[in-house]
Structure 1
Amino acid sequence: MGKSARFISVFFVACTLLFSGCSDDDTSPSESVETKEIKVGAMFSLTGDWSSLGKASQSALNIAVENINSYFASISSNIRIKLVIEDTKLDTTIALEKIKSLAAAGVRFIIGPQSSKEVAAIRGYANQNNIIVISQGSTAGTLAIPADNIFRFCPSDSLEGAAMARLMFNEGMRSIISISSMDAGNLGLQKAAEISFKSLGGFVTTSSNYNAGLTDFSSLLPVINSSVQLQISSFGKNEVGVYIAGFDEVIELFKQALSYPDLYSVKWYGSDGMVLNEKILSDTAASRFAEMTKYPCPTYGLDLSTKYKWEPIVTMINNEIGFQPDAFGLSTYDALWVVALSYLSNNGSDNFANLKKIFVQTADSYYGLTGATVLNNAGDRKFGFYDYWEIKKQNGVYNWVLTGNSN
């Protein structure tokens, strides 16, 4: 612990290097030493569903690798990190193919994939082949398994579900209709929210869930509408809400839901799979439904006490991809630093047993853009709080607007 603990200050050194305008000459002292290249893999959805997180994660990693390598050069270390980034399209089959190709390339650490269904698909291979997977977006409680090779730099669904239940209850909801895409992450969020809402004294109706990627909701919407009407008759519109955990398919559901007045007469609540989604903003009908129903969506929140760290990085990413990253995306920056410092602490060796042990120790002592990266016994982020975003029309344009936060 002693050796890795001193690396907490590395982030500050890296920021100094980044914002003082490092040039090629800055790395000259180490040029005479043979470079030890460490490949670190990344698996994101860059062109499929939830690509907003994938693009933000890729941008964050590209900034992180420059900072890390500049820092290593400044301390005359011969270690250099090389990223190998793959597009999974949020597809489990592709994810399994990509982890195999990364393993063949000698990769020991993989940042991502971002969804629980992908993590579940590659977990067995990662465990069998000594690969450490660090997901920035997987939250399913079913994957909170001690001693495996899966780590998650975001809180699990139990924390998010409880936070959403408190939000709904505190806003006066006493009856919710619950809907979810049938994938591990969203089902986990749904279950956690339902349990927490019931524990607060609320009533829950679990509506018919749907297959991931569904685009025709003509059969499901009448079922949801009937449930909403029934609960309105018992509780009144102001105490009835709809909770939906899903991905991009929510956009199509919202468009089709405009044909049901009772559905947009109550408040809707979302999940991390849709928060800050850029695609919905370009769809006027879906955005109008979201604004009419308020539709607050949670994202793992950024600690304001670390704003001086993350604000410059957020600005850089926003300038590159055209929208601000959330804490899920920024956690990849911290993840790469923890991986790099683990290699540095292990003198560049890829001995798996030592690396895994040092990785956990380093994570427990690191404090980065997203705050303390302390892990629980299942390898998930131990602490977290949430920001809530809603879609609002401003000057004729729909945007995501921060409306609140909680822990």
Structure 2
Amino acid sequence: MSPKISKGAIGLLVLGLLIGSGIGFAISYMLVPSTSAHGLVGDVTVVALVPLTGSLSTYGENSKVAAELAVSDVNAWLNETGASWRLKYIFEDTSTDPVTALNKLKTWHGKGVVIYHQMTSSSELKECKAYADANHLLQISCMSSSAALAIPNDYIYRNIVHSLKSSKPIVALMKEAGVKHVIVTWRGDSWGDSFHDAVKNELASTGIACHDEYGIRFDPQLTSFTVQAASLNDAVTALVNSGIPKDEIGIFALAFDEIALYMADAATYPLLREVKWFGSDSSANVNTLITNTLAGQFAIDTKFVSPTYTPGENPKMERVREYIRSVLGRETDPYAYASYDIVWYIAIALRMADAYDADAVKNLLPKIVENYYGASGWFTLDENGDRAFADYELWIVREVNGTLTWTSAGTWSYVTGKTEWTIPIYQ
């Protein structure tokens, strides 16, 4: 069923893509009346479920700050266009815990909230899914990438690609690095399990061996990785003793902020420092890895590289990036750009529908996304409501003037399937 759109909102969204000098950006003309005879008035509430504590806190903080900027921008626009309502965001800390996320969603649903900005992990989103779908609660995610949640016609939209697609640049890097044998260690949750399976399948298609007999699935609540590090060392030792050269062995670590603790424990084994390590979008720009000297140096020694989708340079992205730097004093991540844009998607859809209606917003979102060029770039949604494609930026840890820092070392192109290095790490 198509959403009912008020006459006053017809012509609201006319987005022009202006492409020039290799950089695209959108100029939007919001043709709206100065007043509305009916519909939305006062504060319109959206609840953001965000991990401000726990293993995703770095990303949660970034996404929260980006959303706060977007809410300010949206309300300025609503004021300028004479809207009778304002967007009100409420941020709830989930502690990176699925049960907490669901409980807070239920609490706010009891207060009448039907639209949720999910800045949470895939496990948290998955925990909320059944309840949200059954009650027609719209969840728009800037962070979840589990392929297990790539489901058509549900009440989830995701502004990033899922792990089946994210596995391609990772395996391409392994191949370029000369790796022929891979051991995977991963978070034992929805995100980690689906990512592990996706990479395993991608490795099989390229002829690289995935040694699942040595795979290490760990509890997401762990704060010590001495057992896992010892097991990894035993596994690498076994491969080396079987005649496999160390430079053909790779470790793929699927982790959040705990990657720093894991690497600090792994650093006690010299052999683990002699093989190449690979990460994912969830380890890129993790602040704990550069504040933990032991772990950071280990990342440098192992040429640890974490691909994460990149929106490409554009003025909106740079504005959000600089704002987060000014507030948090650090480099941000692509989830934050997605978070900024989600606020605008919601606001534009609400303005068009002129009703606080999750189904109306849900039905409007695909066309809005398709015609919007934001901080996270331009893209379309696939049949599952997920970002359909993305290029990837390759992040490494370096020491610059005596300080550990995250640095972009190159990009991987979705179109060509090839890597372009600015800092070649495998030469």
What is the TM-score normalised by the length of structure 2?
0.86
Amino acid in structure 1 at the alignment position of 2:105: I
The 3-state SS of whatever aligns with 1:145 is coil
What residue in structure 2 maps to residue 401 of structure 1? 407
* Higher helix proportion: 1
Q: 1:262 aligns with which of 259, 271, 274?
A: 271
The 5 Å alignment of 1:369-388 reads: 369-388=375-394
Report if the CA contact (8 A) 2:16-2:28 is conserved. Answer: no
- Cα drift, residue 49 of structure 1: 1.4
Contact 1:346 1:355 in 2 (8 A): yes
Report matched runs for 1:17-28 at 5 Å: none
In 1, Cα distance between equivalents of 2:138 and 2:377: 22
Match of 2:347 among 340, 343, 347: 340
Check the 8 A contact 2:253/2:277 in 1, yes or no.
yes
SS of residue in 1 equivalent to 2:397:
strand
Structure 2 match to 1:310: 317
Q: Which residue is 1:225 aligned to?
A: 233
Q: Once superposed, what is the RMSD of the aligned Cα atoms?
A: 2.4
For the pair 1:50 / 2:56, whether they are aligned, the reply is yes
Q: Is the 8 A contact 1:4 1:342 kept in 2?
A: no
Per mean C-alpha deviation after superposition, the further-off stretch among 4-13 and 333-342 is: 4-13
SS of the residue corresponding to residue 260 of structure 2 reads helix
Distance 2:255 2:93 in 1: 20
Aligned to 2:308: 299
Aligned partner (choices 178, 183, 193) of residue 187 of structure 1: 193
**Partners in 1 of 2:226 and 2:372 — Cα distance?**
49
Q: Which residue is equivalent to 2:210?
A: 204
Q: Secondary structure at the match of 1:247?
A: coil
CA separation in 2, counterparts of 1:391 and 1:117? Answer: 28
CA distance in 2, matches of 1:254, 1:106: 44
CA distance in 2, matches of 1:48, 1:220: 20
In the TM superposition, what is the alpha-carbon distance from 1:155 to its structure 2 partner? 0.4
TM-score by length of 1: 0.90
Matched-pair identity in % = 27
Equivalences for residues 2-401 of structure 1 within 5 A: 3=11, 5-7=13-15, 12=27, 35-206=41-212, 207-232=215-240, 233-304=242-313, 307-347=314-354, 349-401=355-407
Q: Determine if contact 1:44/1:58 at 8 Å carries over to the other structure.
A: yes
Moved more, 206-215 or 3-12: 3-12
**CA apart distance, 1:100:** 1.3
Q: Larger deviation: 323-332 or 357-366?
A: 357-366
Would the aligned equivalents of 1:68 and 1:340 in 2 still touch at CA under 8 Å?
yes
Structure 1: give runs of 5+ residues left out of the alignment: 15-28
Deviations 1:156-204 (A, max 9, x none): 0011111101111122111111110101112222221121122111111
Whole-angstrom CA distance in 2 between matches of 1:130 and 1:242: 41
Partner amino acid, structure 1, of 2:45: K
Paired residue type of 1:278: N
AA aligned opposite 2:343: L
Greater than 6 Å deviation, 4+ residue runs: none
Deviation at 1:5, TM superposition (A): 4.8
- Describe the SS at the equivalent of 2:211: strand
Tell me if the contact between 1:187 and 1:245 (Cα under 8 Å) persists in the aligned partners.
no
- Secondary structure of the equivalent of 1:392? strand
Alpha-carbon distance in structure 2 between the residues aligned to 1:190 and 1:97: 28
How far apart, CA to CA, are the structure 1 residues paired with 2:26 and 2:292?
39
Q: What is the alpha-carbon distance in structure 2 between the residues aligned to residue 397 and residue 247 of structure 1?
A: 22
Number of the residue aligned with 2:419: none
In structure 2, what is the Cα distance between the partners aligned to 1:165 and 1:393? Answer: 26
Q: C-alpha distance in 1, partners of 2:207/2:109? A: 49
* Gaps in structure 2 of 5+ consecutive residues: 3-9, 18-24, 415-427
Counterpart residue identity of residue 268, structure 1: W
Deviations 1:279-320 (A, max 9, x none): 12111111111111111012121213xx22211221011100
* Residue identity opposite 2:236 in structure 1: V
Give the whole-Å Cα distance in 2 for the aligned partners of 1:120 and 1:405: 30
Letter in 2 for 1:92: P
